[in-house]
């Protein structure tokens, strides 16, 4: 699997979200064969839907897939997944989660690992910088989205 390629697509989604005035988190769901099943971005601000995070957006955009397509799939996300998105990955049986960065927020990585999901953290500088810029420019929105102060 080409992690760099798919994280670059998730970053495109994050940038779109940032340009739209939203929270810059993007995600891409990729099958075990390397086919993009769905891609999305956090749109809770743009759409006024509090559960429309990057990962849930990618899952929604994938449509109603047969459960077998999620087995062996990878969720690529620009930021460590929150508890809700962690749960969604587990619910759908996604077996691998690739995280661009977890310096600005650490979500449910330990729980994913505990449940047998392979977790890869890339320490992607561009994703880290985009989130840092967002946190600097919109701290109130950042705190509202993660339910508290950012972890640094």
The two three-digit tokens of residue 11, written as one number: 């970053």
Residue at token pair 């994703």: 127
The enclosing H or E element of 74 equals strand 74-77
Catalytic residue among 19, 55, 118, 126: 55
- As a whole number of angstroms, the distance between CA 138 and CA 31 comes to 34
- For 136, other C-beta atoms within 10 Å of its C-beta total 9
Helices (H) and strands (E) in the chain, counts: 7, 5
For the question of residue 33 being annotated catalytic, the response is no
Residues taking part in catalysis: 55
């Amino acid at each position: 699997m080409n992690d760099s390629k798919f994280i670059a697509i998730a970053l495109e989604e994050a940038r779109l979200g940032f340009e739209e005035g939203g929270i810059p988190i993007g995600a891409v769901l990729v099958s075990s064969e390397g086919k993009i099943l769905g891609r999305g971005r956090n749109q809770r601000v743009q759409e006024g839907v509090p559960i429309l995070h990057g990962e849930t957006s990618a899952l929604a955009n994938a449509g109603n897939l047969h459960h077998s397509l999620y087995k062996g799939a990878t969720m690529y996300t620009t930021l460590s997944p929150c508890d809700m998105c962690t749960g969604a990955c587990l619910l759908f049986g996604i077996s691998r989660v690739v995280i661009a960065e977890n310096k600005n927020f650490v979500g449910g990585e330990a729980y994913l690992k505990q449940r047998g999901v392979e977790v890869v953290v890339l320490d992607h500088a561009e994703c880290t910088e985009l989130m840092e810029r967002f946190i600097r420019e919109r701290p109130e929105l950042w705190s509202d989205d993660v339910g508290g102060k950012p972890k640094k």
